[in-house]
Structure 1
Amino acid sequence: MSASGAATVRQFEWPDYDRVAALWSAAGREVVPRAELAAKLTRDPELFLVAESADGITGVVLGTYDGRRGWILRLAVDPARRRRGLGRALVAELEARFRELDCPRVKLLVMPDNEAGLRFWRELGYLPAPDVLCTKPL
């Protein structure tokens, strides 16, 4: 567990779900449905983290590790609390947990028009890669 300001970073617990869903909505992110999240948490629940303060859940990061690469799937911080180090604290704790799993590399996706997001990730040492994203709904 680590702290940033008055927030503590800890592992997600199911009673957090409604507050996390509300935070994702407030941050303009799609809410991960309970069933999809439950399936994800069977693999690596220690990689789903929340930042919690006296006011409740103020940030959240969802990561996963497939045994070869770590992925940061979703980072969100309460819009009223941005630029205070919460995102950095969440990512730092997630990276520490990836290291504990001997994860050699972490990847993430950022939409090309998300200039603030690209700037944030570059400041943390994440560099754009020339990969082409392909996707297929099942």
Structure 2
Amino acid sequence: MIRQFQWTDYDAVVSVWAATGRDVVPRAELEAKLLRDPELFLVDEADGAVTGVVLGTYDGRRGWILRLAVHPDQRRQKIATRLVEELERRLALLGCPRINLMVLPDNAAGLSFWQRLGYLPVPDVLCTKPLRP
């Protein structure tokens, strides 16, 4: 069952991220994100356990898929596809015209997954700058 993230899910979401080798989003960052668009942070739950998670956001112009992870023991069950489809549905309801995401250059399986869902690579260059609080 796909549903909106609740704070009681935090430890389970951290476990999914850890099992997939992803960095954990600190609680403070999630608190700020959830003030903006909490309906775009989704979990998949089966038998009381969180099996997958997707973190999306919408800035009023573009939607972003920032984190998609499925526990390794639960893969190949279409959990990731269902999470993305539900996030896309919710973004569409907000009037979002386009969704962006990033795939690491060495993640061939990830790129293939996103292309199967209709996401196309673009030759943009990612620039980033950390800000000090």
- TM-score interval for Structure 1 and Structure 2 normalised by the shorter chain: over 0.9
Report the TM-score, using the length of structure 1 for normalisation: 0.94
Q: State the Cα distance separating 1:27 from its structure 2 match.
A: 0.8
Give, in angstroms, the shift of residue 101 of structure 1.
Answer: 0.2
- The unaligned stretches of length 5 or more in structure 2 are none
Give runs of aligned pairs for residues 46-65 of structure 1, distance below 5 A: 46-65=39-58
Residue in 2 that maps onto 1:23? 16
Determine the C-alpha separation between the residues in 1 that align with 2:110 and 2:62: 21
- Asked if 1:121 is matched to 2:114, the reply is yes
Residues 42-94 of structure 1, C-alpha deviations (whole Å, 9 max, x = no match): 00000000000005000000000000000000000010111110000000000
Q: Which runs of 5+ in 1 are unaligned?
A: 1-7
Point out 4+ residue stretches in structure 1 off by more than 3 angstroms: none
Find 1:77's aligned residue among 67, 70, 73.
70
% identical equivalent positions = 67
C-alpha distance in 2 between matches for 1:12 and 1:72: 15
User: What per-residue deviation string (whole Å, max 9, x for no partner) do you get for residues 4-55 of structure 1?
Assistant: xxxx000000000000001100011100010010001100000000000005
- Indicate which of 122, 127, 136 corresponds to 2:129: 136
Q: Aligned pair 1:98/2:91, yes or no?
A: yes
TM-score by length of 2: 0.97
Q: Secondary structure at the match of 2:36?
A: coil
- The RMSD of aligned alpha carbons is 0.6
Would you say how many aligned residue pairs link Structure 1 and Structure 2? 131
